[in-house]
A and B are shown apart, each in its own frame.
Chain A
Amino acid sequence: GENVEQHPSTLSVQEGDSAVIKCTYSDSASNYFPWYKQELGKRPQLIIDIRSNVGEKKDQRIAVTLNKTAKHFSLHITETQPEDSAVYFCAASEGGSQGNLIFGKGTKLSVKP
């Protein structure tokens, strides 16, 4: 089955700097890669996603890149703000089923003012 590795587990940046979180996956049949942000005590919220037929997607300060050959995808946050502080999870669909997501262990991002 699918296995998703996420790095780093913690990341601390200064406000205004960029943050990059990387994930690798094992199942070449995976075709959907969402990223979720979870603030303390709250539910995971989808922030951006990418499908396997696209190499890059951007939404304001957030971008995701996908390298299918190497089986890795990354989240890039530019001009970080204190409110970006949260735990970020990457996920990959199990095979072709988007209803079954395999999650990374999460990255705790701290943005210092």
Chain B
Amino acid sequence: KAGVTQTPRYLIKTRGQQVTLSCSPISGHRSVSWYQQTPGQGLQFLFEYFSETQRNKGNFPGRFSGRQFSNSRSEMNVSTLELGDSALYLCASSSITGGVETQYFGPGTRLLVL
């Protein structure tokens, strides 16, 4: 099976702009989680979607939002970008096998806000 894919891989934006990132999960996986990775804060959970519904949400402001489509592909949107939003954004898809849900990460989208 193909792995988790994310587009675009790199992105440069300026403060105040908005951005949309896309994640295609492994075929058959219905859960998609998003994480922000920065040198200072490490890996932080943004939100999780399952069957087009947000199932969990991390501690991020409302400028960060997401959605999931019927084919399980997911997008996350960040509005009114701030310098501190510069980070690697990782999505992970998962499925439950034998009662265990295992997350597999995509390559990430590196966002630079100038």
A→B interface (CB under 8 Å):
1, 32, 34, 36, 42-46, 49, 51, 89, 91, 94, 97-106
Contacts and interface: CB of A to CB of B under 8 A. Distances in A.
A36 B37 CA distance: 14
Interface residues of B, number: 24
Contact of A101 (B33, B50, B55): B33
Nearest to A36: B105
A49 B104 CA distance: 12
A98 B56 contact: no
A98 B48 CA distance: 10
Contacts of A49: 100, 102
Interface in B65-84: none
B45 A43 contact: no
B87 to A, nearest CB: 14
A75 to B, nearest CB: 16
Contacts of A32: 100-101
A49 B100 CA distance: 10
Contacts of B113: none
B42 A43 contact: no
5 contacts: A98-B103, A99-B103, A100-B33, A100-B56, A103-B42
B58 interface: yes
Nearest to A2: B45
B90 interface: yes
Given A32-B100, A104-B42, A106-B42, 9 more contacts: A1-B59, A32-B101, A43-B106, A44-B90, A97-B55, A99-B48, A99-B94, A100-B58, A103-B42
Contacts of B103: 34, 46, 98-99, 101
Interface in B16-58: 31, 33, 35, 42-45, 48, 50, 55-56, 58
